[in-house]
Structure 1
């Protein structure tokens, strides 16, 4: 296996048969931390699911090698199986029935290479009444309850502005694969790791789920108000708006001092967290009039000086202008042979002994086909013949 990139995962080879977003999000964790990731895609990419030149695609698929392969042909399938023999992980997000047809089901792969870890992401799970349904992020956001608690009260369901079910399903799957790779060091045997958009979305309900499961309460839309703490949420300023988060009585007293309303500390309507929650609307109406007289910068500095969490509400351009975001290394550059220097999103994980490896831009389809096939022992003549027959 020819692989010279170093990183904490550099001893692993990952076969990437994923599409859209949840699968690539999972695989990105391995690609960024040094694994040899081989992206396997159709020879003629007419699947209509992605624009290779889009910013989205370029951000998602960096640090991979690309092999084009017709998996429906026996020769293409044979080459994939030879790669399976060399791989540690295979990640896919086909529907369960499609997997079986392509011979990529767990039983077949496990029999072929018992050390292989199979990561599968689906819309609704590998079993159950919805197993064969196609999955889509917004559908999962709706079915998983998120859209019912997002948005302003009475507004009707609202989707979150990022594909949160896709992203978290990918992250959960990556975590599961890493767990199994650790256990494989003890057992020598791989496992089947499964996640789905619906499972991920339900898991992400977190405290909103607990309100129902433990308290029997069905949460509603709360808009920018925190469900249980006041004052917490969006407050207008003279030049825009900002987030302020006041928790506990001590912080409430400090907040009253900052806005020059210490009289509120003694007001029975706002003396405890429970009372503030009960009288939230009138308290917020009063506070809005006060915060509206201050600039965002002035109020932020005063609140931070008193240890009260707060911050601006940035548009995306302002996010990347923020000095803290810059210092966290959330933007990294890769060199693309045609597009030149490209900025992509960095990793949100910091390791004391390693950094993510941004060694290559998203590859063109089949960019590494020849190299990978030669690594498998195929001759130049064999590779040329496969290309002629559009198997590669």
Structure 2
């Protein structure tokens, strides 16, 4: 079963907010044991709200399900014994600190690979481990700006826009997960671990490969054009009598059928609009013609009429619409996680469907230091020593 695929794999998670937690949560969703190691004040993502689940953010709960929580002061000299025992038994370590920070804590790849040569060590950072920007911090919005993504979003003549969902963070997390799985496959052949360098910048560029590849070919800087695709038309949203409808009818036959459904078959033979390339060049004129037609009926009416003609279309949905979408319900992507203090929490679950049923329900995100004792007893430390570490501040735990 896919949800059991990584059982037996142990992952140490030294990451915060979204990119690293998305990576480690994906591994946990596939069955890995993930130990989330947090600083005494807790990871930054706990405080990023609204919305809130108790005192922690919904963002934190949504990116950290299925993990065990260990709260450890890495600056305390006594933490070294714990970290060495953790690393010795781990398969993967993921960290998202600024390059050099882990090394200064004695936790860099070179030091830890001496303890465990098979360790797959994944560093996630804003700009990568090397180069002139390596020491620069960065978050999703900064990389949306610096990678050019914000220049693609919005309307002509309007201020720059960003995608509100942290798409660069999330795609970086998935990239890191993919790289870790590939490295584990390589390790199965040669027995060696290694250091993976995953950056938000490179992931943001990969996210834009169609636009960047076009620029590399023709040298034309892209400009924001709202919902439209720069390479095909019509492939954009149109206003209806009661909402918005996204239509993709740039294929020759679909364009002709669209004009028929709209009651303007002659428009399909208009010399301005005979090909997708011509419609892109004359997009403003095409939009004016189509807008005047789409606004005459409701979104539901157009969905039915266009669907019957096999024309690609969709309602421009808000989250109320999405949560009532029949395919969303059928896919099982919306998960319920039972939390011991907060009850049933709804969140986006593992996005890949499998022919087999899930082997077990999702487990909630840990409270700060929730599994300190469980993890350390599993490493062979006795209770007296664990209690002493708790008293001296090596370990922390939420009340």
TM range (shorter): over 0.9
Q: What is the DSSP-based 3-state SS (H/G/I as helix, E as strand, rest coil) of the residue aligned with 1:247?
A: coil
Matched, 1:306 2:309: yes
Q: What is the DSSP-based 3-state SS (H/G/I as helix, E as strand, rest coil) of the residue aligned with 2:198?
A: strand
Matched, 1:50 2:12: no
Matched, 1:269 2:267: no
User: Which residue is equivalent to 2:145?
Assistant: 142
8 A contact 1:33–1:357 mirrored in 2? no
Matched, 1:258 2:254: no
Post-superposition CA distance 1:226-269 (Å, at most 9, x none): 11212221111111111011122111111111111111122222
Post-superposition CA distance 1:95-136 (Å, at most 9, x none): 112111112211111111011100110011100011111111
Quote the Cα distance in structure 1 between the aligned partners of 2:79 and 2:361.
30
User: Which residue is equivalent to 1:287?
Assistant: 290
Q: What is the DSSP-based 3-state SS (H/G/I as helix, E as strand, rest coil) of the residue aligned with 1:157?
A: coil
Quote the Cα distance in structure 2 between the aligned partners of 1:316 and 1:44.
33
Aligned pair partner of 1:238 in 217, 234, 241 = 241
8 A contact 1:231–1:244 mirrored in 2? yes
8 A contact 2:3–2:358 mirrored in 1? no
8 A contact 1:83–1:376 mirrored in 2? yes
User: Which residue is equivalent to 1:213?
Assistant: 216
Aligned-pair distance for 1:30? 0.7
Q: What is the DSSP-based 3-state SS (H/G/I as helix, E as strand, rest coil) of the residue aligned with 2:124?
A: strand
Quote the Cα distance in structure 2 between the aligned partners of 1:357 and 1:100.
37
Post-superposition CA distance 1:131-164 (Å, at most 9, x none): 1111111111111000011110121321112111
The count of corresponding residues between Structure 1 and Structure 2 is 387
4+ aligned runs moved over 4 Å, structure 1: none
Quote the Cα distance in structure 2 between the aligned partners of 1:19 and 1:179.
23
Segments of 5+ residues of structure 1 without an aligned counterpart are none
Query: What is the RMSD of the two structures over their aligned residues, measured on CA atoms?
Result: 1.6
Quote the Cα distance in structure 1 between the aligned partners of 2:222 and 2:357.
42
Aligned-pair distance for 1:6? 6.6
Matched, 1:19 2:16: yes
Aligned-pair distance for 1:353? 3.8
Segments of 5+ residues of structure 2 without an aligned counterpart are 48-54
User: Which residue is equivalent to 1:350?
Assistant: 353
Aligned pair partner of 2:187 in 184, 198, 220 = 184
Aligned-pair distance for 1:215? 2.0
User: Which residue is equivalent to 2:52?
Assistant: none
The verdict on how the C-alpha distance between 1:354 and 1:14 changes in structure 2, with shifts beyond 3 A counting, is farther
Post-superposition CA distance 1:77-98 (Å, at most 9, x none): 2201111000000000011121
User: Which residue is equivalent to 1:225?
Assistant: 228
Quote the Cα distance in structure 2 between the aligned partners of 1:343 and 1:241.
28
User: Which residue is equivalent to 1:68?
Assistant: 71
Quote the Cα distance in structure 2 between the aligned partners of 1:60 and 1:49.
9
Range 346-355 or range 16-25, more displaced: 346-355
User: Which residue is equivalent to 2:51?
Assistant: none
Quote the Cα distance in structure 1 between the aligned partners of 2:249 and 2:259.
10
Q: What is the DSSP-based 3-state SS (H/G/I as helix, E as strand, rest coil) of the residue aligned with 1:214?
A: helix
8 A contact 2:3–2:359 mirrored in 1? no
Q: What is the DSSP-based 3-state SS (H/G/I as helix, E as strand, rest coil) of the residue aligned with 1:74?
A: coil
Quote the Cα distance in structure 1 between the aligned partners of 2:262 and 2:268.
12
